[in-house]
Structure 1
Amino acid sequence: MQKSFTVWAVLVCQSLGWNVYAQDMDYESARWHPIHFKPAIDTAKDEQCLACHQEIIESKVKPESPAGVKAKDSLAWYQTLEVYQGEQETFHRRHLVTPLAKKLMNLKCNTCHQGHDPREAAPVPPTNSNAGFSLRKTVNPETTCLKCHGQMNYQVMGLPSPWPESHKLFTTCMTCHTVIRSVRHQVNYLNAEAIEAAAKESPDACYGCHGGRAWYRVAYPYPRHAWPGVGAEVPEWAKNRPTESEPRFRLPKQTAAK
């Protein structure tokens, strides 16, 4: 009852033009602030999120592990590709503030964090089917993480073997992708022009997201955007693919064209 009243009170204040910030509230009240829920989280700015969650940017990798292994003496998995430069960094810093993140990405807090309702963190009664609940995870990996951290689908690309072996046959990914699937990265969480430029310098710029940092055993079913010269025939594997990105990821010019 108290939680429902808190949300109602904040909404009333906002409707009157009074700003009520989560950082000005106690923890129990702040967790029910409208910014953590739809629709407010869709337009939340990073500075609003970081007003309470600043530690995700300020926290740094420990110089030494509990076992005594020094960070400077070991390579993290993300440091093994030539496009990553610098020391080890935390998860959020790698996606938001490192030189590589600023160069190739345009990720925001709400790119991944779309809010959640603590009352609906898991279905009751429990079910083995996909009920659409996040199970207390603040990010849905199927719609965010998998985009950049799925396996490289080399079979669909027609490669004879995974990229670590196939790359010896090609100078860069652009050997083929200059004319095949040439409309790509046109989403608001990536810097498309910078990615295209980086791809010409090193195939690791492509492979880093398309398989080189895979967390999952499956590939992400990317939308199959039309490109100049694409034929009318749709391959069997692409027949159920969407032909455009999710609405919230589209660039302003794409949304205006609809």
Structure 2
Amino acid sequence: MRIALIALLFAVQAAFAAPETDYQAAIWHPLHFKPAIETATNEQCLACHQEILEKSVKSESPAGVKASEALAWYQTLSVYDGEQETFHRRHLVTPMAKELMNLKCNTCHEGHSSREEAPIPPTSTDAGFTLRKTVNPETTCLKCHGQMDYQQMGLPSPWAQSQPMFQSCMTCHVAIRTTRHQVNYLNAEAIEKAGQANSDSCYGCHGGRAWYRISYPYPRHAWPGMAATIPEWAKNRPTESAARFQLPKAAE
């Protein structure tokens, strides 16, 4: 009887002490790799990574600057509403994200291999290792956070200075490159309406919140009335979005 009770006690302790999946097993879960990650849902990802939506911005920086008394860089345009938010919340659950975006976890996170992650301690030279969970900024972040190439667009100066002259992006784009935003990570109809109401909605992604000093080479989708002659700068541009970003009808 005593032995049975001791065995039961150890079993209960083990059940409460051991997680369902230990860390080493979790990092090799099939959802972290292709092809499973390509069809992973947000619910599947957030089952383990829910904390990315629960973290909040600190009310005060280590230097003593209060968040309530300072604007973050992404708050500087008129179309941002609300207090400062964390990175993932800005892209997934804020009012702007829900209105204009349709981002999924695997829009940016395409899977990774722990064998290819940067070693600790780091190497002194570029060994080809990947950081940040293999999020490729050239194919993800740059699409919405590149510089506005105003020279290529024929503007006399950056949009902040040119805006009073043109008033709205739609002054030109009501007839130029009208096939746009047709990708599965954006809400195209809502974006068009927002752009008609306020050019900051356009500029917010196209230069207003630039992380990089270069612009993104957007695919040049054909539009009604498009000139037959292709400009020199556009001759090497793709004519459609990457397959994984295409809407179902376009992909078929």
Contact 1:122-1:135 within 8 A present in 2 as well: yes
C-alpha distance in 2 between matches for 1:136 and 1:227: 36
Using structure 1 for the length normalisation, give the TM-score: 0.86
C-alpha distance in 2 between matches for 1:184 and 1:255: 16
How far apart are 1:134 and its partner, in Å? 2.6
Could you list the structure 1 runs, at least 4 aligned residues long, displaced by more than 3 angstroms after superposition.
125-129, 135-138
C-alpha distance in 2 between matches for 1:116 and 1:37: 6
Partner of 2:66: 70
Contact 2:111-2:133 within 8 A present in 1 as well: no
Contact 1:37-1:115 within 8 A present in 2 as well: yes
C-alpha distance in 1 between matches for 2:202 and 2:130: 30
Partner of 2:171: 175
- Consecutive unaligned residues of structure 1, counting only runs of 5 or more, are 1-22
C-alpha distance in 2 between matches for 1:93 and 1:222: 26
How far apart are 1:115 and its partner, in Å? 0.9
Alignment partner of 1:90 is 2:86: yes
C-alpha distance in 1 between matches for 2:161 and 2:244: 36
How far apart are 1:121 and its partner, in Å? 2.6
C-alpha distance in 1 between matches for 2:104 and 2:203: 22
C-alpha distance in 2 between matches for 1:233 and 1:136: 41
- Consecutive unaligned residues of structure 2, counting only runs of 5 or more, are 1-18
- Indicate which of 42, 45, 52 corresponds to 2:48: 52
C-alpha distance in 2 between matches for 1:73 and 1:42: 41
Alignment partner of 1:103 is 2:99: yes
C-alpha distance in 2 between matches for 1:156 and 1:128: 33
C-alpha distance in 2 between matches for 1:119 and 1:136: 14
Q: Deviations over 1:12-39 (max 9, x none)?
A: xxxxxxxxxxx84111100000100000
- Indicate which of 108, 117, 134 corresponds to 2:130: 134
Q: How many residues align?
A: 231
Contact 2:109-2:133 within 8 A present in 1 as well: no
Using structure 2 for the length normalisation, give the TM-score: 0.88
Contact 2:100-2:190 within 8 A present in 1 as well: yes
Contact 1:181-1:225 within 8 A present in 2 as well: yes
Larger Rg: 1 or 2? 2
